[in-house]
Amino acid sequence: MCAKLLILESPGKVKKVQSFLGPDWKVVASVGHVRDLPVKEMGVAAPDFKPHYQPTERGADVLKRLGALAKQADVVYLATDPDREGEAIAWHVADALKLKDAKRVTYGEITESAVKAAVQSPRAIDMALVAAQEGRRVLDRFCGYLVSGPLSRAVGTRLSAGRVQSPALRLVVERERAITSFVSVTHYGAELSFEGWKAAWVVKSWIEPGQEYFQDQALAEKMAGLRSLEILDCEESEARVAPPTPFTTSSLQQAASNALKFKPKQTMSLAQALYEQGHITYMRTDSPNLSQEAVAVIRAYADGQGWPLPDKPRTWKAKDGAQEAHEAIRPTHIEEEDAGETADEKALYRLIRVRALASQLADSVYAVRLLRLSADVDGKQATFEAKGRTLQEQGWKVLLAADEATKDDAEDEPDNPVPALQSGAQVTALSGRVLTKKTKPPTRYTLASLVRELENRGIGRPSTFAAILDTIQTREYIKEEKRYLVPTPLGVQVVDALVNAFSFVDYAFTKEMEQALDDIASGKTKYQQVVATAFNRLMDE
């Protein structure tokens, strides 16, 4: 007999949680989902769209084992992961075992204090969250069953479509086509060099009406030949740069891809291991904010290190559509500089830790000087600008040089020690050169930049990005070439067969569906209404 039975998701957590709770508890794992829709049929039909679940092949044995343990327990606690998926697994276990008074508990980190606090404050299963997960699963099943057949017939080979993977594939295909059809335009600028600093010609007022770029090479050469100029004004200002936010699921995947060359699926696997080992908080989150307790601990630690702190703790506005049930990803013990069992786990932990620490530090402060110069060219004033900035206060850059999540797009401003000069002063350029520029095609997506694009467009949810990208790679719809994503001929065929035939590959429709699922979770709408609308739309196409 065990007085209290606690069922969590992953076997990797059992030993640690058991050690927290002691001998009065029996801790076991559901090993993820125990039931799902049928393998060989859709399993959901109009008009009620009630899903017909079956135990999975592994789940049947798990349920048998859990059922025997539940009969021996005085009370059953369901401690599956603190998200929609975890809520659904908790409900499936309770429903399959016919548990009448199961207690739902959640915690954002696997530490003794968090687990003990959770079991002291149980709640009922949140059926709105369960319905939202059910809606996602059923919508995915609709796309798989109602679209894959027509798609396979159109292309002539057995293929599968996905509610979110197909729009993701479409992004890659459309980017490739934009690159292929791109026509480069050559345009010009001019730069003058002075003693230790440079100034660039402001071409905007010289561009011909109707043109986007300056294309008169001869005039650019004339500008580069100028030597005597007058100072129009010298503007002094201060630029403050706030640190990047702590990691969300999405920004962690992007940063790990850029800084550590990890694929999103690998990143999530490593983060899961760190979470189960008790080193980081729950790694599926849209929130950029840390708990008040965590912020207080981080500020105290940073102060002890002598690092600069802002007057008030930092908070950030989440992106539209973010599900902020859990705080951002952070170490459970900020003083631990190293954690993890493998080199990759340790590297990811360091990335998470430094980012969490830096997020609460003071702004970096730059002194900015903008010098504007002019000369007469053919009776018209030509203006040049010289901009320089000097780091005055490091702030968060004592720990972190840049935001790793967007490092692939970042360009460091070159040093340009612009002198302070008075308006009306005359200066002489030592040399000048024409800047010959060519417009560049859009760049191919990397895994990191595709994750960022999916998030910006509201396609899918950060917790699903790794699986989406893994699926379209595994099915050979895209391939990686030097870390850039290229559609395969098969991937192009799939997109061409779907576009204009099925609305679920429309970016706006996909975003609307995500919002509808969020509305189910928040109780603003009902499961049946959302899935019926999507089903009828697919059947009409």
Q: What is the DSSP letter of 18?
A: H
Contact 167/505 with Cβ under 8 angstroms? yes
* C-alpha to C-alpha distance for 400 and 410, rounded to whole angstroms: 14
SS3 at position 263: coil
Chain centroid to Cα 383, Å, comes to 41
SS3 at position 93: helix
* C-alpha to C-alpha distance for 348 and 355, rounded to whole angstroms: 11
b/e sequence 423-437, b meaning 16+ C-beta within 10 Å: eeeebebeebebeee
SS3 at position 382: strand
* C-alpha to C-alpha distance for 301 and 208, rounded to whole angstroms: 58
* C-alpha to C-alpha distance for 517 and 524, rounded to whole angstroms: 10
Give alpha helix (H) positions in 215-291. Answer: 217-224, 249-260, 264-276
Looking at 98-155, which runs of residues are DSSP E strands?
A: 103-104
Tokens 């530090």: give the residue.
Answer: 361
Q: Which residues are within 8 A (CB) of 530 and not within 5 positions of it... i.e. 6 or more apart?
A: 135, 139, 513, 516, 517, 519, 520
Residue 35: beta bridge partners? 55
* C-alpha to C-alpha distance for 386 and 186, rounded to whole angstroms: 24
* C-alpha to C-alpha distance for 199 and 201, rounded to whole angstroms: 7
Contact 479/172 with Cβ under 8 angstroms? no
Fill in the amino acid letter for 219. L
In this structure, how many other beta carbons lie within 10 angstroms of the beta carbon of residue 117?
12
Contact 168/156 with Cβ under 8 angstroms? no
Q: State the catalytic residues.
A: 282
